[in-house]
């Protein structure tokens, strides 16, 4: 038997609400008292990349009031990866130093990852994070992932 979400389930019936996969060793996350596999939870409720609009499931860059897949954080002019810790902004998009000159509204900003939950990617902003295997989790994700 599996006891979760204030119910008791046969193991083969404790499934992801979205895809129907049996929730076993991979763990689960809940929303509105419904269980989801981590993959579907990220796809349905996770943060989206400002570059490609696909869900961010792991690894990100926080910059320009949004989150980006590392491969999507590229110069808006030449598509070169932004490297070196400094980028320029043009109309809300990153540009490399070479292409920053034509833009009148330019300024450099270091891009670094703020402390965010390793799963849902939301800023921790004073929440008491929990740590496991060197990763930080917000209280809600920690409640579901670290059981």
Handedness of CA 73, 77, 81, 83 (dihedral sign): negative
pLDDT digits (tens, 9 = 90+) for 113-130: 456 777 777 777 666 777
Decide: 85 and 78 in contact? Cβ < 8 Å: no
Predicted pLDDT of residue 34: 92
DSSP symbol at 51? T
| Number of residues assigned to the chain | 147
Looking at the chain, the domain(s) classified CATH 2.10.110.10 span 1-45, 61-110
DSSP symbol at 71? G
Name residue, tokens 């800023």: 123
CA distance 39 to 3: 21
Q: Which two tokens stand for residue 29?
A: 């996350």
| Residue 109 in this model has a pLDDT that exceeds 50 | no
**Stated pTM of the model:** 0.54
Phi, psi of 128 (to 5 degrees): -80, 95
Q: How much is the average pLDDT of 40-67?
A: 84
CATH topology of domain 1-45: 2.10.110
HSE of 64, CA atoms in CB hemisphere, 13 A: 22
pLDDT digits (tens, 9 = 90+) for 54-98: 888 777 888 888 888 889 989 888 988 887 667 888 888 888 877
Looking at domain 61-110, which CATH architecture does it have? Ribbon (2.10)
């Amino acid at each position: 038997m599996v006891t979760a979400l204030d119910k008791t389930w046969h193991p083969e019936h404790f499934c992801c609400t979205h895809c129907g996969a049996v929730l076993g060793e991979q763990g689960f996350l809940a929303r509105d008292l419904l269980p989801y596999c981590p993959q579907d939870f990220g796809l349905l409720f996770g943060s989206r990349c400002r570059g490609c609009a696909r869900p961010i499931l792991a690894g990100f860059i926080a910059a320009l009031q949004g989150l980006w897949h590392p491969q999507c954080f590229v110069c808006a002019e030449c598509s070169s990866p932004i490297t070196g810790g400094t980028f320029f902004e043009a109309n809300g998009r990153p540009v490399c130093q070479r292409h920053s000159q034509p833009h009148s509204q330019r300024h450099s900003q270091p891009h670094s990852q703020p402390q965010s939950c390793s799963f849902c990617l939301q800023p921790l902003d004073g929440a008491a994070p929990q740590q496991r295997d060197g990763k930080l989790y917000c209280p809600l994700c920690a409640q579901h992932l670290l059981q």
